[in-house]
Structure 1
Amino acid sequence: MKLKQLGQVKRWMIGHAHQHPVELAVWNLVLTCWVMGWMGMPSAMLIEEWAALPACLTATLVPSLYASARLRLHRHGRLRCDWLTAL
């Protein structure tokens, strides 16, 4: 997921926060994991904590994994996802 797409989804979430407050909270959690992953990689390398690198890499992929999971659920009719239009 590109940075522009992250911003588009975030803007949609903020614009529809009164209708989808839980969705906004989940998206904020997803973005927090993403930032922690990017900030954790250099820190883990600096202190030579190599075991933390896979977790950091996984955390950087959370937005893409979340969006693809939501898209799959939306296509199968299990969960409605209005913000997919923002992508």
Structure 2
Amino acid sequence: MSLNELQRIKQWHVAHKVDHPLEYHLWDLVLTLWVLGWVGWIPFFAFGEPLTALVCLIGIFVPSLYVAWRTRAHIRHTLRCDWINLDGRG
């Protein structure tokens, strides 16, 4: 995911925080795991723990995995997701 996509989704969540508080906090958790995934490479290179690399890699891809999961659920009509941009317009 690009930073623009992450920012667009975050802006939607901030604008709709009152209406969708769980989604707002869940997206914050996703972004926190993403940042931890990037920052976690420092201990990996410092201490050489192989498990740390796996955890960091998963953390880096958490936003993409979360958006893919939500998009599939939205398309199947099992979960409504207003912040998904399926038609390519802003």
If the length of structure 2 is used for normalisation, what is the TM-score? 0.91
* Counterpart position of 1:54: 54
Deviations 1:35-83 (A, max 9, x none): 0000001221112112210111011000000000000000001000001
* Counterpart position of 1:6: 6
* Counterpart position of 1:78: 78
* Counterpart position of 1:37: 37
Does 1:64 pair with 2:37? no
Identical-pair percentage? 40
Show structure 2 runs of 5+ residues with no match: none
Aligned length: 87
Distance in 1 separating the partners of 2:20 and 2:83: 10
If the length of structure 1 is used for normalisation, what is the TM-score? 0.94
Deviations 1:6-61 (A, max 9, x none): 01100110001111110000000000000000000122111211221011101100
Q: Which region of structure 1 is more displaced relative to structure 2, 40-49 or 53-62? A: 40-49
Show structure 1 runs of 5+ residues with no match: none
8 A contact 1:41–1:57 mirrored in 2: no
Q: Tell me which stretches of 4 or more aligned residues in structure 1 moved more than 3 Å.
A: none
- Which structure would you say has the larger RCO, counting Cα contacts within 8 Å and 6 or more residues apart? 1
